[in-house]
Amino acid sequence: MEEAINFIKSFFEVEAEVRFKNFSAEKDYFNKQLEKMNSFCARELHSKFGMVALKPEDEIMQDTSYPNLRQLFKISLYTNPIYGDMFLAYCSDHNPDNDYLEYWDCFLVTKIEGNLRIIKRFYFDDDLDTTSTEKFWKESHGVKDINFSNLGEFKNSIRIKEPIDCEYFTKDYLQNK
């Protein structure tokens, strides 16, 4: 699980750098960093984090503050009949407010051709009217053949940092899933 934790934290660092460089005149560097960020992901997730390669004619945004890194709350290991060992990484949004840390995304990570990759992204949705099995987690982008209902056998979780200010987040954080 340490390999998966280190992988996801490295992704957070690259993502923050890409978001920061999106606000600079260094378009070539931004595009190279975006390629590096995409290398952490399955093809289905390339450019699915709100950033796309910049063209020479694109305007530059004007924000100079370096973003806060996402926070990793919990990582869970599952064994899946198709993908083998898979990790669910429950994390905050990009550039979180460190005084109010809440669930935002959940990344599904597994090995593809011997390398860890994020293959699916789920997002938190507090729509209480939903009828899905995991009524607070919605599918976003990624591979189509896996979701919360067919993850496989739960093995264990490592809790890293407890979310703040929400009963649901704390309850979910403490569950073995």
pLDDT at 14 over 70: yes
Identify the top-confidence range among 40-44, 124-128, 169-173.
Answer: 40-44
Do 132 and 93 share a domain, yes or no? yes
Do 28 and 105 share a domain, yes or no? no
The reply to whether 128 falls in a domain is: yes
Do 158 and 78 share a domain, yes or no? yes
Q: Which residues contact 125 (CB under 8 A, 6 or more apart)?
A: 136, 137, 138
Q: Determine if the pTM surpasses 0.85.
A: no
The reply to whether 112 falls in a domain is: yes
Do 14 and 90 share a domain, yes or no? no
The reply to whether 123 falls in a domain is: yes
Q: How many alpha carbons lie under 13 Å from residue 52 in its C-beta half-sphere?
A: 4
Do 27 and 110 share a domain, yes or no? no
Q: Residue 15 has which token pair?
A: 């993502």
Residues 136/168, Cβ–Cβ less than 8 Å: yes
> Collapsing DSSP states into helix, strand and coil, what is residue 165?
coil
Mean pLDDT, range 52-66, rounded to an integer: 71
Do 89 and 144 share a domain, yes or no? yes
Q: Residue 145 has which token pair?
A: 């053949």
Q: pLDDT, tens digit, for every residue of 61-77?
A: 665 666 788 889 999 99
pLDDT at 100 over 60: yes
The reply to whether 59 falls in a domain is: no
How many domains are contained in the chain?
2
pLDDT at 31 over 50: yes
State the burial class of residue 175 (Cβ atoms within 10 Å of its Cβ: 0-12, 13-18, 19+).
exposed
Do 77 and 157 share a domain, yes or no? yes
Do 40 and 81 share a domain, yes or no? no
Buried b (16+ CB within 10 A) or exposed e, 149-168: eebbeeeebeebeebbebee
Domain that residue 14 falls in: 2-45
Confidence of residue 130 (pLDDT cuts 50, 70, 90): low
| pLDDT at position 70 | 87
